[in-house]
Amino acid sequence: MTAQRPLKVSSAPAGLAGRVRVPGDKSISHRALMFAALAEGRTHISGLLEGEDVLRTAEAMRALGAKVVREEGRWIVDGCGVDGLKEPADVLDMGNSGTAARLLSGVLATHPFMSIMTGDASLRSRPMGRVSVPLGEMGARFVTRAGQKLPMAVEGTGKGKPLHYRLPVASAQVKSAILLAGLNCEGETVVEEPAPTRDHTENMLRHFGTEVKVEELPGAGRRITLKGPARLVAQDVLVPGDPSSAAFPVVAALLVPGSEIVVEAVGQNPLRTGLFKTLKEMGASLEVRDERIEGGEVIGDLHVRAGRLKAVDVPAVRVPSMIDEYPVLAVACAFAEGTSRLRGLAELRVKESDRLAATVALLEANGAKVHVEGDDLIIEGQKTLPGGGKVQTHMDHRLAMSATVLGLAAEKPVHIDDTAFIETSFPGFVSLMNGLGAGVEA
C-alpha cells in the first residue's frame, strides 16, 4: 500500500505567475498504448502521460504480448495486430484507472483466451457491468464479484458478434470498449450515444487507418459505426496536454488575485473543453492562442488572468464534456458572485469516489454554502471562503487537486488527508503549482 501524503495548502498572496506544461492527456495516453499494441508495425509515442494509471496500461499491453519500451523520452510499441494478443501469464492490475479497465475489457472480449483484471481499492469498488453486459452480447463471458465489481475474469471469444447498442447513459468508456471489441468482429458494430462524448477513440481509429462513420441523430445524440474485422497500421502519436489536468492551474490562477499564467499545448477537442466554455460564461479571462493540429487533435496555449467570476447555470448536456472537472468547477463557483447550479451530476456518484458527496463535503468543510437537489449541485458563491478545513479525499486524485486549488484562494490553510494518488494522473503536480508561486507543504 502506498504511504499517505497529507498536504497543507496556504493562500498565495503574491499571485501565481509563469508558463507551464501539464502532463499528457490521460485518455489519449491510454488509447495510444492500446491502439499501438493492436496495430501492425512500430509506433512512436511522444508526450505520453507517465502517471501510475498509464504505466499500468503499458504493463498490461506488455503482458498481452506487445513490446513496449521507453527510450529517450518517448515510448516505442511493436504491435501484435488486431487479433494477435496473447494470453497473459498473470492477473492484469489496472491500478486506479477505470478508463484502462473498461477499454481493455473491450480488447480482451474478442481475443480467444482467459484473462483476469483487478485494481486498487478504489477501482475495485466501481461497477463494471456497464461494459460487461454489452460485451457479453458480443460473445465474451465475464465473471465478477458481487455488484459486478473487480476482480473480473474475462473469457474472450475469437471472432465476436457485431453489436448494435444504444448507450443508456452517455459514456466514452463504454462506447470505446464496444468499438475496440468490434475491431475483431465480422460485420458492423454500431454504438448510439444519447449525447456526444469525448471522441478520442474515433479520432485514433482514423489515425491508425480504420474507417469510422459518425452520424448526428435527432436531438443531441450520435451514431458511430465501425466495420470489422479491421486492420490497424502503426502511426506515430503526439499526446497533447490534458485539459482535465490543465483545469487545476487554470482555476487557481482565476481565483488567486494578481495571477497571470500560460498553460502550453493543451488539447482543445470540443468534446473535452466544457470547463473552459463554462469558465468563459462566468466571465473568466481565459484565452486560447496559437491553435494547431497534432496527431489528429487540436491543441492551443491557455492564457489566464485572475478576475472576479459570476455564477453560472450549467446544463446537464454538458456533463460528458467535463465529467472530471466538476469538483474544481464547484470550487470556482464557491468564489463566484451569485448562486450557481450544476445540473445532472448522477454520473459523479460512480467515479473514483462518490464525487458528488465528496465535493459537497470538501466545500462545506471550508465554509462554502452548498447543497444537492436530486442530481443538481447548488453553490452560493462568496467573495472569499474561510478555509481551515480538513478534506477527506477518499483516494480520489481530482478531489485532492481541487482541495489544493481551494486552499490557494481561502483565508486559512486547508489540510488534505492524502495526496499520494495524485501521481496517477498528474505526476509533479505539487512541484508545478509551487513553481507558479503556490504555497503547498508536505
Cα separation, 395 vs 138, whole angstroms: 34
Neighbours of 147 (CB within 10 A): 10
Q: Which of 167, 163, 162, 104 is nearest to 130 (CA)?
A: 167
Q: Which residue has the cell 486498487?
A: 120
Q: Is 27 annotated as a binding residue?
A: yes
Cα separation, 198 vs 273, whole angstroms: 10
Q: Are 260 and 45 in contact (CB under 8 A)?
A: no
Q: Are 380 and 370 in contact (CB under 8 A)?
A: yes
Cα separation, 185 vs 170, whole angstroms: 23
Length of the chain: 442
Q: Is 171 annotated as a binding residue?
A: yes
Cα separation, 48 vs 432, whole angstroms: 17
Q: Is 242 annotated as a binding residue?
A: no
Q: Which residues are catalytic?
A: 324
Q: Is 244 annotated as a binding residue?
A: no
Cα separation, 434 vs 23, whole angstroms: 16
Q: Which three-class secondary structure state does DSSP give residue 405?
A: helix
Q: Give Cβ neighbours of residue 13 (< 8 Å, ≥ 6 apart).
A: none
339 alpha carbon, distance to own chain's centre:
27
In which region does residue 161 sit, left (phi positive, over 0), alpha (psi from -120 to 50) or beta (all else)? Answer: beta
Q: Which three-class secondary structure state does DSSP give residue 346?
A: helix
Q: Is 351 annotated as a binding residue?
A: yes
End-to-end CA distance of the chain: 19
Element (H, E) at 264: strand 260-267
Q: Are 193 and 222 in contact (CB under 8 A)?
A: yes
Q: Where are the alpha helices (DSSP H) in 183-313?
A: 200-207, 243-255, 274-281
300 alpha carbon, distance to own chain's centre:
19
Q: Which of 71, 51, 63, 57 is nearest to 87 (CA)?
A: 63
Peptide bond into 151 cis (omega under 30): yes
Cα separation, 36 vs 44, whole angstroms: 9
Cα separation, 45 vs 62, whole angstroms: 15
Q: Is 355 annotated as a binding residue?
A: yes
Q: Is 26 annotated as a binding residue?
A: yes
Q: Is 124 annotated as a binding residue?
A: no
Q: Is 98 annotated as a binding residue?
A: yes
Q: Is 305 annotated as a binding residue?
A: no
Binding site members: 26-27, 31, 98, 126, 171, 173, 324, 351, 355, 398
Binding site members for 3-phosphoshikimate: 26-27, 31, 171, 173, 324, 351
